[in-house]
Amino acid sequence: MFKDGDFIYIDYTLKIKDNGKVVDTTIEEEAKKNEIYESDKKYSPQLVILGEHRVIKGLEEGLYNLNVGDEVELEVPPEKGFGERDPGKVRVVPLSELRRQKVDPYPNMLLRMADGGYATVKSVSGGRVVLDLNHPYAGKSLVYKVKVVRAIEDKAEKVKALLARWFGLEAPEKFSLDLTENSLKVNVPLEYVLVEDLGLMMRMFAKDVLTFIGQEMVVEFTEKFDKSILSSK
């Protein structure tokens, strides 16, 4: 049994109930078996902080009742999944407009829209294309096969988990940390200084530390430069 604010790591495999198709997983082997493997994706158990609402609602709700080591199948209805389908989110566009954007549409093709959302091609005929702007899994019941791999309680481990969330899985080994009662000092290695949105990532990490580890914490980042930078580019 878990409670709000607990840090747990889960492995999961997500299947669409009506066709049984596996569409997402944290397990490399499962991804390969179901032909959804992406070589630039890191397959490893995912951090969930309960009550944070960063994962699908039905999945998160189901996790509270589990214990470390439990492995279950959770069925999630659309309203606790990717939402109901909105029939109003269907558009008819001229085929010529898509062709102009160098898109040659066919049924079930998934298009990336300019606003970052997705659209599914429903049909192409008579020079007209029917696009469904609903999330591809809207209206679908989901089946999560989920296992609680571990839970962490140690403050230092939680800090490392948040560091991995914001700076990548290798960050906990590469950053040096100094954690005391109400203070966390984080030394940012130079290889991380030039990442895009450094300041934003520092702020998001600090916000998570304050929210989930303690509001009295002071989070201090440091970046140290010496003459070694003169010889690199």
Between CA 214 and CA 216 the distance in angstroms is 5
Is 162 a binding residue for a second copy by CB under 8 A? The answer is no
* Residue closer to a second copy (CB basis): 86 or 223: 223
Taking the complex as a whole, how short is the minimal distance between the CB of residue 183 and a second copy, in angstroms? 10
Is 218 a binding residue for a second copy by CB under 8 A? The answer is yes
| Piece of 5-13, 45-53, 61-69, 222-230 that binds a second copy (CB under 8 A) | 222-230
Taking the complex as a whole, how short is the minimal distance between the CB of residue 144 and a second copy, in angstroms? 32
Local structure of 216: helix, strand or coil: coil
Closest by CA position to 129, among listed 96, 151, 156, 102: 96
Kindly report the CA angle at 104 between 101 and 109, in degrees rounded to 5?
Answer: 110
- Name the token pair of 170: 């290798």
Please report which helix (H) or strand (E) contains residue 192, including its range: helix 190-193
Closest by CA position to 153, among listed 24, 31, 3: 3
* Residue closer to a second copy (CB basis): 102 or 227: 227
Distance of CA 132 to the CA centre of its chain: 24
Taking the complex as a whole, how short is the minimal distance between the CB of residue 231 and a second copy, in angstroms? 11
Using the structure block, give the residue that is written with the tokens 């520092």. 202
Is 154 a binding residue for a second copy by CB under 8 A? The answer is no
Taking the complex as a whole, how short is the minimal distance between the CB of residue 214 and a second copy, in angstroms? 9
| Piece of 45-53, 131-139, 170-178, 197-205 that binds a second copy (CB under 8 A) | 197-205
* Residue closer to a second copy (CB basis): 71 or 223: 223
* Residue closer to a second copy (CB basis): 92 or 190: 190
Is 219 a binding residue for a second copy by CB under 8 A? The answer is yes
List all residues 6 or more positions away from 73 whose beta carbon is below 8 Å from its beta carbon: 143, 144, 145, 146
Kindly tell me the sign of the dihedral angle through the C-alpha atoms of 161, 174, 170, 173: negative
Q: How many residues of this chain interact with a second copy, rule: CB under 8 A?
A: 28
* Residue closer to a second copy (CB basis): 63 or 213: 213
Amino acid identity at 121: V
* Residue closer to a second copy (CB basis): 118 or 192: 192
Q: Which of residues 1-40 bind a second copy (CB under 8 A)?
A: none
Q: Which of residues 175-194 bind a second copy (CB under 8 A)?
A: 192-194
Between CA 69 and CA 107 the distance in angstroms is 42
Kindly report the CA angle at 212 between 171 and 162, in degrees rounded to 5?
Answer: 10
Contacts with a second copy, residue ranges (CB under 8 A): 192-195, 198-200, 202-203, 206-207, 210-211, 215-227, 229-230
